Amino acid sequence: MWDTEIEIIHKNYSTLESFLDYSQQDHPNDGPDSSRSSLLVRPHFTLTRSKDEAYDLIRKGNPAGLERMLKILEALESNISLPATHDEFLSSVDGCAPNVEAYIQGIPEDMFVISQIEDEMPPSSLVVQLELTVSAMFSPTQIEYAGAILFAAAQALQMQGCAVQFILTYAMKDRGLAHITTIPLPRNTDLDTQSFLLTHPAMLRILMFSAWEHEPKDIRNRMGFWNGGGYGTPWPACPLQEGCDVKFNLQRLCLAILRGGTSIEFCQSLLLQLIETKFGMSQK
């Protein structure tokens, strides 16, 4: 079935806190706890030993992920600079410097006046749709690495004067149904929280799984939201959501990492995409 024929369900949380409140609620009493992957102890898969530990890490963060995020950002060296102003030399009777070219042409009284011209600046902010669903085949280390690269690229743009906001997006599909979850992340979200959300597998494999397990039984059956059901397949064709300017896909980045390349190369590529989006918007 083509993606254009897929039925779409969209869960849009207004804040991270509203998502956490929802995912921590008591589950519908229509099946055994063993049917919920979010309750299973699988440290090799989630890097946690309980659901409570995963929620606690939202505040404490992921130290290994944070270290990798900051290390990649520090190593990111880009010569791409955003425009600001440039000096334009205009011919004038009074000015700060003689117009040598005019003097050679026989115009001795001509002077230069320097006028500072403000270049057309791109928008002061970008909203980035981060699609964070990944297949079970990817290890926690690969997820951490890819998430850190996404963070570093966006942070590099912020350091050049552009505010970047993340919209965390989890898009899965199965049996003709696509399930999209979006969570806006405030720009002032602390680094500890970001390190967990972007680089720790428990965000998807425990907290998001728990939220999906709250869905009505017919949706859970179609999407496979139960232990052994597969929880759907990541949907890279997920459309750009309203209000977002550009999207990055964690699954595709994980695949690119497997094919080889350095973190700096990936960061520079993503940063270029962000800047091209930023400039393209300014010319619309």
Reading the chain (284 residues) residue by residue, the pLDDT tens digits are 345 578 999 999 999 999 999 998 876 655 555 578 888 888 999 999 998 999 999 989 999 999 999 999 888 865 445 555 545 555 555 655 565 555 555 565 655 555 655 555 555 789 999 999 999 999 999 999 999 999 999 988 888 778 899 999 999 999 999 999 999 999 889 999 999 999 999 999 999 999 999 998 889 989 999 888 899 999 988 999 999 999 999 999 999 999 988 888 898 889 888 888 876 654 44
Residues 183, 163 share a domain: yes
Residues 68, 92 share a domain: no
Residues 256, 209 share a domain: yes
Q: What is the pLDDT of residue 145?
A: 95
Residues 90, 215 share a domain: no
Q: What is the pLDDT of residue 2?
A: 43
Q: What is the pLDDT of residue 66?
A: 94
Residues 21, 70 share a domain: yes
Residues 141, 90 share a domain: no
Residues 103, 9 share a domain: no
Expressed as residue numbers, the domain containing 90 is 85-118
The 3-state secondary structure of the chain reads CCHHHCEEEEEECCCHHHHHHHHHCCCCCCCCHHHCHHHCCCHHHHCCCCHHHHHHHHHHCCHHHHHHHHHHHHHCCCCCCCCCEEEEEEEECCCCEECHHHHHCCCCCCEEEEEEEECCCCCCEEEEEEECCCCCCCCHHHHHHHHHHHHHHHHHHHCCCCEEEEEEEEEEEECCEEEEEEEEECCCCCHHHHHHHHHCCHHHHHHHHHHHCCCCHHHHHHHCCCCCCCCCEECCCCCCCCCCCEEEEHHHHHHHHHHCCCHHHHHHHHHHHHHHHHHHHHCC
Gap between the Cα atoms of 74 and 236, Å rounded = 30
Q: Give per-residue pLDDT as tens, 149-184.
A: 999 999 888 887 788 999 999 999 999 999 999 999
Q: Report which of 279, 264, 260 is spatially closest to residue 79, judged by C-alpha positions.
A: 264
The phi, psi pair for 102, rounded to 5°, reads -65, -35
Q: What is the pLDDT of residue 254?
A: 93
The phi, psi pair for 178, rounded to 5°, reads -115, 135
Domain count, the chain: 2
Residues 277, 137 share a domain: yes
The pTM is what? Answer: 0.80
Q: Give per-residue pLDDT as tens, 6-39.
A: 899 999 999 999 999 999 887 665 555 557 888 8
Residues 261, 136 share a domain: yes
Q: What is the pLDDT of residue 118?
A: 52
Residues 127, 113 share a domain: no
Q: What is the pLDDT of residue 110?
A: 59
Q: What is the pLDDT of residue 75?
A: 85
| Helices 140-158 and 250-259, packing angle to 10 deg | 110
Gap between the Cα atoms of 133 and 174, Å rounded = 14
Residues 186, 95 share a domain: no
Residues 99, 13 share a domain: no
